[in-house]
Structure 1
Amino acid sequence: MIKVPLVSNTSYIIRQLPTPTAFIDTDHNIVQTSDTWTSIFNKNGESYKSKSLFAVFPKLSHKWKMVLDNCFNGNPQPMGIHQVIDTKGQELWFEWTNAPWYDTNENIIGAIIQLSNITDAVNNELELNKKNLLLQQQTEITKIGRWEYNIVDNQLFWCSTTKAIHEVPEHFSPDIENAIYYFKEGHSRNAISMALFEAQNNGKAYSNLKLQIITDTGKEKWVMAGGKPIYNKGEMVGLIGTFQDIHEQVEASIKTVDNEKLLRTLIDNLPVNVYIKDTESRKVLINKAECEYLGVKDPKEIIGKTDFELYPYESAEKSRAEDLRVMTTLKPVIGKETVNTRLNGKETSFLSSKIPLLNNKGIAYGLVGISLDISKLKEKEKELRNIINIASVQNKKLLNFAHIVSHNLRSHSANFSMLLNFLESEKDENEKKNIIGMLTQASNNLLETLDNLNEVVSINTNTNIEIKEINLNDKVVDATKNLSAFISNSKAKVKNNIPVDFSVKSVPAYLDSILTNFITNAVKYRDPERESLVVLSAEKKGDYSILTITDNGLGIDLEKYGEKLFGMYKTFHDHKDARGIGLYLTKNQIDAMNGKVEVTSEIGKGTEFKIFFNEKN
């Protein structure tokens, strides 16, 4: 019981009280306060003496009047907590207590009110409440629950989120045994059992265990579990941990993986080359077809490389420029016919497309390329074009041949008819003999014509010609030996510059005919003003072995006779032995072997023939 009489010599003592203290009378008026009270509540030195406590603090609970009245009757009771603003404008919390105020005669004349500053405690509690609320919100958003296990009492606690994940009612009381039982039998249950054992017996924490549970309603669900030991004075007293529902994320991840596998399977089995490049034109993805084209088994050998590491510089430079154009303009390249050259020199024809890859801001972050190998199609196209050309040439030959047959045989027929008429009407025996002689010559000419025509037919209808690898130098030596008398009588020279090991693919009989005809013509049409010189040389170029025969003879006016040069019975010089059949036959033989002939000539200087033997035969 506190007894403090209100006398002047006690005022000083009251002012020195360390806690905020106020004395009020039974009318609730403030009679005396401590300096600590004054410093907190009296603004600008204003005195609150003789003022009602409830007038000074209008927000005080009116229930407190009843509490104070009970105190005036000698029955003090707790008043509670009240928030005030001090003279500095700070928000403070005080716990108010009261006690009867006695005079010297033991009469209650009022109440003594003392305040305890609990601002820090209140703020800490508010902060804790905020954190708990935030934690609860985060728990609800992230679906992360908490659990605690008291080893001493063998008590397990689940928060409401953990219970919701297990789909158990709010009043459910878990224990460590049934908690483990909720994990799916097999890997998940074994893994959590081992983790709890290690934590409880060896103090080893665990985290990020991705496991499956069977909920109380029978649903399979993916969860993430974690836990660690808690200690008190160095002794393990329990475990605490988190429990997160990650079912949607795992299912989405599994679906994403399945979709990626499906997409990868599709891309890898497309009959086209597919690749993705970044903004630096580095390859970040390639399919199996692209791997095969680049000659690698593992895509990792190509990932991260640019075209400058995979193709010749000129090709890579063009590709990089096209990549930049596609990513800058955002305009795709679709179905462009291109020829790619590998570092080993191999060329491949493609129908290529490049499509920009755009982010959500519409900016290109790379491109996807699709290339269809059309090399075989191009080869077939070339073969078809060749067939068409051959058919066209053969058609022309056929028309020409029909014209020759019609013209020449008709000429022979008319000649025979005329001579026979002469013979029939002639009376002179000597003249008859002359006519018979002319009939014999006409018969020989007809036989020669028929032989020539038969040779042409044989060349163009023989589909079973056997092409062999033949040493060209040896054949030239044989041909010059066979023509040695003719060459010597013509005072000509044949110079053989063909390497001794040079070979061509040809029909042996055709090669003999070609060499004989071209050498004979070169000597036959020599210039009488100078010694005849025929030079033979050879080289390999692309798909052909090329025989070059050069002479210094009369030359041919190609502007005048170029189109008729290889025609049947076409002659270009007034030479008594010119029959116009040799070049025609050799041209047919060369064509039959898929070869070709080129000629350059200048009147008075000579002629050069290039015979191309196809090495792909």
Structure 2
Amino acid sequence: MIKVPLTSNASYIIRQLPAPTAFIDTNFNIVQTSDKWTSLFNKNDECSNSGSLFEVFPELSHKWKMVIENCFKGNSQPMGIHKAIDCDGQELWFEWTNAPWYDVDENIVGAIIQLSNITDAVKNELELNKKELFLQQQAEITKIGRWEYNIVENKLFWCETTKAIHEVPRDFTPNIETALFYYKEGHSRNTISMALFEAQNKGKTWSNLKLQIVTASGKEKWVMAGGKPIYNKGEMVGLIGTFQDIHEQVEAHTKTIDNEKLLRTLIDNLPVNVYIKDTESRKVLINKAECEYLGVNDPKEIIGKNDFDLYPLEAARKSRAEDLKVMNTLKPVIGKETKKTTLDGKVTSFLSSKIPLLNSKGIAYGIVGISLDITRLKEKEKELRNIINIASVQNKKLLNFAHIVSHNLRSHSANFSMLLNFLENEEDENEKTKIVEMLTKASNNLLETLDNLNEVVSINTNTNIEIKELPLNDKILDTKQHLSSLLSNNNATIENNVPEDFMVHSVPAYLDSILTNFISNAVKYKHPERDAKVILSAEKKDNYSILTIADNGLGINLEKYGKKLFGMYKTFHDHKDARGIGLYLTKNQIDAMNGKVEVSSVVGKGTEFKIFFNEKN
């Protein structure tokens, strides 16, 4: 290895050089370095004046050997930028330069290598590249492009994303005039034109303009446009802005709105009440049926209200407790029959279901309620039960009537047959006369029985009975006149406590029959130890006009005779005029008018009948 001698003065000057510098001979050996070089690459500031450059810096490319060899030939060239590790292990970037090293005879004896530390610049450039890459990625993901307009040069710049949104080639050069024509004619083009005009003339910014464009391929797209002026020394020099493709979001939003409208239309036209409550049992959605039930036209009048705002306190407590149970147990209530009463007193029967609304974690955040109004169904059910009960009663009556007809007519027939047999075999004229008298009496009894049976048939088969509103006191007065002899002969009194203008709905003939039978029975079956007294009173209650007829007579043992009280030909006292037909007929008349009779009695003290006249007739 040839050593290139350096004088002490030259060596001292080299050490003082401000930049990291190394002198190498033509064998690439390091001969002398500056102190800056030593502090960077030599540990403990040991001067490295030996060793090959490529041994000290093994990461240097061997292509650089060719560059240095050319330098040895007098052709110096930049070696470029290279990364190096200093003695502390830090990563540094240097710009390497070289120049031929001449001796006093102007012979090239090596090369001078000098370094310029550009680490900060490289790092800033890398950071900038990262940011640009990040922005590019963000632009690709969010589909947000950039644009700039230079007013002075009348030049418009579109980034790659903006060009991609417009579906133009990468080498496309836009201008401000043609750019406007990409906006759809009409509202979109007019809006962006006005925004540009006000920005250039008034310095106004614009943002979040949702507009439509027509791309180069003819496709319509929704975009979000924004922009603002930029100034230099107080003078407007251009515009800058963003341009975002929001077509998919708008399409999705439109589809969501369409689905919501479809769902809302479906919910509003369901023949059931539908509502959604939050965890505090506040209504957050109701359909038209629920609005109608609560008596409002606009759902906004109900949204946000809870059961305590809409229903009586006790009903609200029950509903809230049920809501909490459904949300806590996550078990729905299906088809439960309930009655709801609104604050205005409206009572409605429902088949109600409550279903928990669950989030992605399986936790209830509210309930869906579905209620089917079955009020009319319950009324029809009640009517059907009444019809079934009436049919059952009528069937029993029919069987009873058939039995009575069979029994009584057979009795009369046997009586006639027996008397005729006696008459045929009797020779004594006086006895024959008696038998004929008995036949006559039997015939009259048969006729009376037939009249009674005919009356019963008439009551039960007459479907066109005419019910009128009648003044009860007028009918009571007529009955008192009709029974005046009976009342007088038995020293009976009638105490009339019926209000003066009290009206009842009844068939006139039936009302006469009812008053006559009940009052006459009260007198006939008076107590032997006191005069007969009949007390009349009346009241209105639950769609009925109720006439009460109370007496102080013998009374009836209801435990013994209660089920037979209104039976045909049933008598309960030993009285010569007792035939057992009056109560039977009046009961049939009352039933025919959709009324009813209640009786209470104490043996030896008297009886009280309550006749219920149906006000709905």
Q: TM above 0.5, one fold?
A: yes
Whether 1:389 aligns to 2:405 is no
1:139 maps to 139
Which residue pairs with 2:85 in the alignment? 85
Verify: 1:580 aligned to 2:580, yes or no: yes
Tell me how far 1:298 sits from its aligned partner: 0.8
User: In structure 1, what is the equivalent of residue 335 of structure 2?
Assistant: 335
After TM superposition, the structure 1 stretch with the greater mean CA deviation from structure 2, 172-181 or 435-444, is: 435-444
Cα deviations across residues 158-199 of structure 1 (Å, max 9, x unaligned)? 222222222222222222222211222221222222222222
Q: Which residue of 1 aligns with 2:129?
A: 129
C-alpha distance in 2, partners of 1:443/1:466?
A: 34
Give how far 1:567 is off. Answer: 0.9
Tell me the residue number matched to 1:490.
490
Query: Deviating runs (4+, > 6 A) in structure 1?
Result: none
Please give the per-residue CA displacement for 1:549-605, whole angstroms capped at 9, x wherever unaligned. Answer: 333322212222122110111100112221211111110111011011122223233
Cα distance, 1:244 vs structure 2: 1.9
| Structure 2 CA distance for partners of 1:465 and 1:49, relative to 1, 3 Å | same
* One-letter code aligned to 1:460: N
Deviation per CA, 1:462-486: give whole Å up to 9, x if none.
Answer: 2222222334455445544554553
Corresponding residue number in structure 2 for 1:601: 601
Offset of residue 393 of structure 1:
1.6
Moved more, 502-511 or 243-252: 502-511
Greater Cα offset, 93-102 or 173-182: 93-102
Alpha-carbon distance in 2 for matches of 1:546, 1:94: 117
Please tell me whether the aligned partners of residues 490 and 531 of structure 2 are also in contact (alpha carbons under 8 angstroms).
no
Q: Deviations over 1:107-131 (max 9, x none)?
A: 6554443322221211111011111
Partner of 2:114: 114
Whether the 8 Å contact between 1:48 and 1:56 is mirrored in structure 2 is: no
Superposition deviation, residue 72 in structure 1 = 4.4
Instruction: Tell me how far apart the structure 1 counterparts of residues 605 and 114 of structure 2 sit (CA, whole Å).
Output: 137
Counterpart Cα distance in 2 of 1:562 and 1:467: 29
Using the alignment, how far apart are the partners of 1:149 and 1:8 within structure 2? 64
Return the letter of the residue paired with 1:76: S
Partner of 1:224: 224
CA displacement, residues 277-332 of structure 1 (integer Å, 9 cap, x when unaligned) = 22322222211112112111111112222222222233333333333333333333
Aligned to 1:170: 170
- Structure 1 residue identity aligned to 2:457: V
Give the CA deviation at 1:404.
Answer: 2.4
SS in 2 for 1:259: helix
Quote the offset at 1:6 in angstroms.
4.5
- The separation in 2 between residues aligned to 1:7 and 1:550, in whole angstroms, is 154
Contact 1:209 1:225 (8 Å CA) reproduced: yes
In structure 2, relative to structure 1, the CA distance for the partners of 1:35 and 1:519 (3 Å cut) is: farther
The answer for the alignment partner of 1:246 in structure 2 is 246
Aligned to 1:470: 470
SS of the counterpart of 2:518? helix
Q: Report which stretch shifted further, 85-94 or 121-130.
A: 85-94
Amino acid at match of 1:276: I
On the 8 A contact 1:334/1:352 being kept in 2, the answer is yes
Aligned mates of 1:233, 1:118 — CA distance in 2: 33
Contact 1:597 1:609 in 2 (8 A): yes
Contact residue 208 and residue 224 of structure 2 kept, 8 A:
yes
Q: Retained in 2: the 8 A contact 1:476–1:515?
A: yes
Aligned counterpart, 1:326: 326
Matches of 1:105 and 1:550 in 2, distance apart?
Answer: 159
Q: Aligned partners of 1:539, 1:117: CA distance in 2, in Å?
A: 115
Whole-Å separation in 2 of the counterparts to 1:448 and 1:139: 110
Q: Which residue identity does 2:176 align to in structure 1?
A: I
1:35 corresponds in structure 2 to: 35
Partner of 2:555: 555
CA–CA separation in structure 2 for the residues paired with 1:280 and 1:334: 21
- Alpha carbons of structure 1 residues 437 and 43: separation in structure 2 relative to 1, 3 Å: same
**How far has the Cα of 1:452 moved from its partner?**
2.2
| Conserved 8 A contact 1:474-1:500 | no
- For 1:237, the equivalent position in structure 2 comes to 237
Alignment TM-score, normalising by the size of structure 1? 0.91
Distance 1:332 1:316 in 2: 19
Q: Which amino acid aligns with 2:594?
A: N
User: 1:614 is matched by which residue type in structure 2?
Assistant: N
Report which stretch shifted further, 598-607 or 440-449: 440-449
Do the aligned partners of 1:212 and 1:221 also contact (CA within 8 Å) in 2? yes
Deviates more, 1:13-22 or 1:387-396: 13-22
Aligned residues, how many? 613
The one-letter code matched in structure 1 to 2:256 is: T
CA contact (8 A) 1:339 1:347 kept: yes
Q: 1:484 to 1:9 in 2, by over 3 A?
A: farther
Worse-matched range after superposition: 516-525 or 568-577? 516-525
Q: Describe the SS at the equivalent of 1:123.
A: helix
* CA distance in 2 between partners of 1:77 and 1:498 (Å): 135
Is the 8 Å Cα contact of residues 284 and 304 (structure 2) preserved in structure 1? yes
- In the superposition, the TM-score normalised over structure 2's length comes to 0.91
Return 176-185 or 498-507, whichever deviates more: 498-507
Aligned partners of 2:285, 2:10: CA distance in 1, in Å? 93
Tell me, in whole angstroms, the C-alpha distance in 2 between the residues paired with 1:17 and 1:483. Answer: 152
Structure 1 position 59 matched with structure 2 position 59: yes
Deviation at 1:42, TM superposition (A): 1.8
- Amino acid across the alignment from 2:322: E
Aligned-partner Cα distance in 2 for 1:469–1:91: 114
| Structure 2 match to 1:519 | 519
Sequence identity (%): 82
Find the residue that maps to 1:171 and give its secondary structure.
coil
What is the 5 A alignment of 1:130-529?
Answer: 130-419=130-419, 422=422, 431=431, 434-476=434-476, 478-480=478-480, 482-529=482-529
Once the two structures are TM-superposed, the CA of residue 431 in structure 1 deviates from its matched residue by 4.9
Once residues 432 and 375 of structure 2 are traced to their aligned partners in structure 1, the CA distance between those partners, rounded to angstroms, is: 72
- Between stretches 342-351 and 287-296, larger displacement belongs to 342-351
Matches of 1:496 and 1:46, distance apart in 2 = 140
> Do the aligned partners of 1:199 and 1:205 also contact (CA within 8 Å) in 2?
yes
CA contact (8 A) 1:81 1:93 kept: yes
Query: Which residue identity does 1:139 align to in structure 2?
Result: A
Relative to structure 1, is the Cα distance of residues 105 and 474 closer, same or farther in structure 2, using a 3 angstrom cutoff?
Answer: farther
CA distance in 2, matches of 1:74, 1:103: 13
Tell me the equivalent position of 1:44: 44
Q: Please give the root-mean-square deviation of Cα atoms over the aligned residues, in Å.
A: 2.7
Q: Deviations over 1:502-559 (max 9, x none)?
A: 4332223322322222222223222223454433333333232323333332221222
User: Which residue pairs with 2:569 in the alignment?
Assistant: 569
* 1:131 match: secondary structure: helix
Matched residue type, 2:257? V
Deviation at 1:433, TM superposition (A): 5.0
In structure 2, stretches of 5+ residues that fail to align are none
Cα deviation, 1:324-371, whole Å, max 9, x if unaligned, reads 333333333333332222222222222222233332333332222222
1:19-34 aligned at under 5 Å gives the runs: 19-34=19-34
Distance 1:457 1:47, change over 3 A: same
CA distance in 1, matches of 2:410, 2:62: 146
**Is residue 2:538 matched to residue 1:538?**
yes
Change (3 A) 1:78 1:582: same
Task: Give the Cα separation in 2 of the matches to 1:525 and 1:7.
Answer: 164
Indicate if the aligned counterparts of 2:33 and 2:47 stay in contact, CA closer than 8 A. no
Higher mean C-alpha deviation, range 468-477 or range 171-180: 468-477
Q: Shift in Å at residue 259 of structure 1?
A: 1.5
**What whole-Å deviation, never above 9, does each CA across 1:4-39 have from its counterpart, x for those lacking one?**
x95434555544444333344444333333333332
CA contact (8 A) 1:6 1:103 kept: no
Q: Distance in 2 between matches of 1:503 and 1:85?
A: 119
